[in-house]
Amino acid sequence: MSGNRQVYEQAMNMGHSAAWDQEWDKAISAYGRAVQEMPEDPAAHNSLGLALLQARRLEDALRVYTRAHQLAPDDAIPLEKSADVLERLGRLKEAAQQYVNVAEVYLAQRDLEKAIGNWERATRLTSGLVNIHQRLALAYERTGHKKSAIREYLTLAFHFQANNRANVAIQAVERALRIEPQNPQALNTLRALKTGVKITVDTIKVDEPNKTNGETPSKERNSSFDPTIALRPDFADALDLASDRAVGEADPRGPIGEALETALAALASFVFESGDLDEGGANTIQAIGYQRDESIEKAIDSYERALDANMRHPGVHMNLGALYLQLHDWDNAQKHLQTAAADPTLASGALHGLSQVFDAQHEPRKAARHLIETLRAVDVSLAMNTDEATQLSAIYDRLQGSVAEADEHQLQNMNERFLELLVGPIWKQRVAKTRRQLEEAISLQEPDSLISLAAHIDDRVTEGLNRIDRFVKDRNYFLAMDEAHYMLESAPDYLPVHWRIGQILLERNNIPAAMAKYKLIADTYLIRGDDERAAEILHEAIKLAPMDTSLHQSLIKLLQEQENWNDLLNQYIDMADAYYQLGDLDQARSTYQQAIQLAEQQGAPEDQLIHIMHRLGEIHINRLDLRQALRTYEQIRKMNANDERARRNLVDLNYRLNDGVSAIRELDGLLRVYAKAGKANQILSILAEQVTRYPNDMALRSRLAAVYGQTGQQAQAIEQLDALAELQLESGRHNDALVTIRRIIAMNPPHVDDYKRLLQQLSG
C-alpha cells in the first residue's frame, strides 16, 4: 500500500462516525478519501461498500465490493455483501452463484455453519442447483440436522425425476429413509416414484389438482397420499397444514375423549381375541354397550362387576374413571384414573381427567401439575423423533418448576386457560401452538411467573404472533410492524412482541433502531432484577450487531456487577475486536490492554493471554509503532517459544528496524521450531520468502542454499551460492567468496571449469 497512513486513518474515523449517525453521503465521501489514500486496502473498500449499500447506490456498492474481494480473496464479507446487492438488484442467478462462492470461502475456513447458510440462500434464489442440494443434504446429515437432511434428499428426488433419472431419485429417497425409516413424506415420495407418479415443488398435488384459488383441499383429497409436502419451499407451513388435517379429526372432548375411544377399542379386542367370554368378559362387553348408550350408572355397575370377576385391563379403569367423573364422584374417579395413567397409551387422557378432578375439588396446585403433564404427554406423542421429544419435555420441566412458586389465584388462572385449550375439534393444534408460545414466554419472560405465562396463553395472541411471523417471512415488513404495534396496544409489556419488532428492524436494515429495541428489553430485565436474562439478551443482540460497541459496554458493566470474570474477559476481547474492525485503533489498543490486565488478575489460560497480545501487536504494527510491537512479540515468545506467528513477526520487525543480525537470530529460532515439528516445507518456504524480500542478505542466501542442498535440490542450491558469492565479492569479502565458490565446485555443477578459473583468479 502507498499513501499517508495518518490521512487514511482520519478519513476512516470520519467515515465510521458518519456511518454511526447514518449520514451515508458523508460516510461515502470519507471512505472514498480513505480508498484514494490507500487504494489497496480491503477494509476501506468494505466500509465504502457498506455506506453505498445503505445509500441504495447498489451498482456502485457492487463495484466496490468486487474490488474488495480482489484485494482480499480469503475474506468472505465482500463476497457475501456483493451477493446481497445482486439479490436486491434482481439478478438472482448471479446472486445465487455468489452465495455458492461465499460458501466455498467459509468451507476453506472450516466454518460449516456459515457455508450451509449461504448454500441455503443460493437454493432459495434459483432452482435446479442439484450439486448444492447434494452438499446441503450431506452437511445436514453429518451435523445431525435430520429433518433438514431429509428435506434436501426429497428435493433432490424431485430434480432427478424431472430430469428422467427415476432410479437416482429413488436412491435419494432411500438415503432419506436411512435417516428416519418411518418418515411419512419420504415413504409417500418413494411410493410415488415407484408407481410413476409425478412429484412437484410448486403445488400440493400428485397428478390432478384438487384445489383452486388457494382453497384447502377436500377431506377426500386430504386422505390420499401426498408426496410433495416435504418438497415445498415453505416446508414448515406444509407440515403445519398436514398436522391441521390430522388434528381436524381429533376427539372434541380432548385427550380424555381420545383415551376413552382407545380404551373401548382395546377392551373389545382383548375380550374377543381371548375367545373366552367368562363373567369378567361378559360384563365388560355389557359395560361397553351401556357406555356407548350413555347409560352411565349401568355402565359403572357392569365395569365394577367385571373387576370383581378379575378383569384386569387398564381400559376398564380408564372408562370407570371417566364415568365417575361425569357423576362428580371425585374419589372414585381419582382412584381409577390414577391406575389408568400408568398405561402409556391412556396416560394423556387419564391425566386430563385427573386435572379436572382436582380442579373441581379446588386443588389448583395438583390440577396444574396434572394439566402440565397432560400437555407434555400430548406434545411429546406428536414429536417427530427422540431428540425433539427431549427438547419438548425440557420446556414442560421448566413450567412444572414454576408451579411451586405460584399462588393459588395464579394457578387457577392458568388452569382455566389450559382446560379451555384442551377441548374442541382443534385442541391438538392448540397444544402445539401453546407450547411454542410457552417456550418463547419462558425464554423472554420471568420463568417463575405464571401470571405472565397464563395471561398470554390466548389464541388471539398466538395468531397475532403467527401473523407477524408470516409477514416477516413474506418480507412484508410494514404489515408485520403494524401487527406488532397493534398487539402492543393490548399487551404493552409482552416482550415477545418487542423482540419481534427488533427482528423486523434488523430485516429492514435499521440496525441502530433494532439494537435500541434489544437494549430496551435488556433494561426491562434489569429493572425486574433479572440480570441473567438481561445478559442473555445483550449476548444475542451482540451476535446480530457485533460492531455495536455500546452493547458491549452495557454487557461489560453488567458482567462486572455479576462478577462474571470469564465472560467479562471474553467481552473485553470482543469489544476490542469491534473497535479494531471499526478502525478505532486507539480504543482497540486501550481495550486490549484492559483485557490483558484482567486476564493476568484472573489467572486466565496462557493461550488466551497470548491471543490478546497478538491482537495488540497487530495494532502496534498498523500504527507503525514497530519497537512497541517488537517488545510485545518478544514477550509472547518468552511465554511460548513455539509460537510461530510471533517468531515470524519478530523476523520481519527486526528487518524493518534495520537490525539484520537480530532478524537472523530470530529466524534461526523459527527454523528450529519448524525442524522440531517436522515442517521441512515450511523451512524452505520461509527462507525463499525472506530471500525474495531481502535479496542482499548474505546470511539468508547461505541458509537457503544449505536447505536446498540437504533436500537434494542441487540446481537451486547452486543458484543461491552463486548469488551469495557475487554479494560477498561486491562487499569486499574475498575470503568468504572463495569458500562459497569451493562449495559450488564440490557440487560439480554445469560449467564447473568456469568456477575453477574464477577460483584460480581470486586466489592469485
Are the C-beta atoms of residues 452 and 441 closer than 8 Å to each other? yes
DSSP state of 230: G
DSSP state of 678: T
State residue 442's pLDDT score.
56
Are the C-beta atoms of residues 65 and 46 closer than 8 Å to each other? yes
Question: What does the alpha-carbon distance between residue 68 and residue 486 come to, in Å, rounded to a whole number?
Answer: 43
Question: What does the alpha-carbon distance between residue 560 and residue 580 come to, in Å, rounded to a whole number?
Answer: 23
Question: What does the alpha-carbon distance between residue 327 and residue 341 come to, in Å, rounded to a whole number?
Answer: 20
22 dihedral zone (left: phi>0; alpha: psi -120 to 50; beta): left
Are the C-beta atoms of residues 481 and 504 closer than 8 Å to each other? yes
**Of the candidates 633, 696, 698, the residue with the CA atom closest to the CA atom of residue 669:** 633
State residue 331's pLDDT score.
94
State residue 315's pLDDT score.
92
CATH topology agreement for domains 5-200 and 255-361: yes
Residues 154-166 pLDDT 10s: 888 887 777 777 7
The set of residues, in sequence order, having a beta carbon less than 8 Å from that of 369 and lying 6+ positions away, is: 400, 403
Domain limits, the chain? 5-200, 255-361, 679-764
498 dihedral zone (left: phi>0; alpha: psi -120 to 50; beta): alpha
**Of the candidates 624, 678, 671, 676, the residue with the CA atom closest to the CA atom of residue 651:** 671
Question: What does the alpha-carbon distance between residue 115 and residue 363 come to, in Å, rounded to a whole number?
Answer: 54
Look at the block and give the residue holding cell 445509500: 55
HSE-CB for 346 with a 13 A CA cutoff: 29
pTM value is: 0.38
Question: What does the alpha-carbon distance between residue 646 and residue 610 come to, in Å, rounded to a whole number?
Answer: 10
Question: What does the alpha-carbon distance between residue 654 and residue 699 come to, in Å, rounded to a whole number?
Answer: 14
| Top-level class of domain 5-200 | mainly alpha
Helix H or strand E segment including 178:
helix 166-179
The set of residues, in sequence order, having a beta carbon less than 8 Å from that of 113 and lying 6+ positions away, is: none
Question: What does the alpha-carbon distance between residue 396 and residue 351 come to, in Å, rounded to a whole number?
Answer: 15
Cβ-in-10-Å burial (0-12, 13-18, 19+) of 299 comes to buried
CA angle 475, 476, 482 (to 5 degrees): 140
State residue 215's pLDDT score.
32
310 dihedral zone (left: phi>0; alpha: psi -120 to 50; beta): left
The set of residues, in sequence order, having a beta carbon less than 8 Å from that of 175 and lying 6+ positions away, is: 137, 153
The set of residues, in sequence order, having a beta carbon less than 8 Å from that of 535 and lying 6+ positions away, is: 522, 555, 558, 559, 562, 564, 567
Helix H or strand E segment including 132:
helix 130-142
DSSP state of 433: H
Chosen CATH of 679-764 out of 1.25.40.10, 3.30.70.520, 3.40.50.2300, 3.10.180.10: 1.25.40.10
In the three-class reduction of DSSP (H, G, I as helix; E, B as strand; rest coil), residue 2 is classed as: coil
SS (H, E, C) 601-663: HHCCCHHHHHHHHHHHHHHHHHCCCHHHHHHHHHHHHHHCCCCHHHHHHHHHHHHHCCCHHHH
Are the C-beta atoms of residues 119 and 135 closer than 8 Å to each other? yes
CB atoms within 10 A of CB 533: 21
Residues 255-280 pLDDT 10s: 999 899 888 888 877 776 554 457 88
In the three-class reduction of DSSP (H, G, I as helix; E, B as strand; rest coil), residue 751 is classed as: coil
Residues of the chain predicted below pLDDT 70:
1-3, 127-128, 200-250, 272-277, 383-388, 433, 435-463, 490-491, 493, 511, 525, 528-533, 540, 542-546, 548, 562, 564, 566, 764
Are the C-beta atoms of residues 100 and 122 closer than 8 Å to each other? yes
CA angle 91, 95, 98 (to 5 degrees): 145
State residue 460's pLDDT score.
61
Cα–Cα distances in angstroms (integers) from residue 543 to residues 113, 396, 539, in the given order: 15, 28, 6
Are the C-beta atoms of residues 350 and 370 closer than 8 Å to each other? no
- What fold does the segment set 255-361 form as a domain? 1.25.40
Cβ-in-10-Å burial (0-12, 13-18, 19+) of 694 comes to middle
Question: What does the alpha-carbon distance between residue 619 and residue 624 come to, in Å, rounded to a whole number?
Answer: 8
Q: Dihedral sign for Cα 262, 265, 269, 271, please.
A: positive
Distance of CA 709 to the CA centre of its chain: 51
State residue 336's pLDDT score.
94
Torsion of CA 597, 600, 606, 607, to 10 degrees: -30
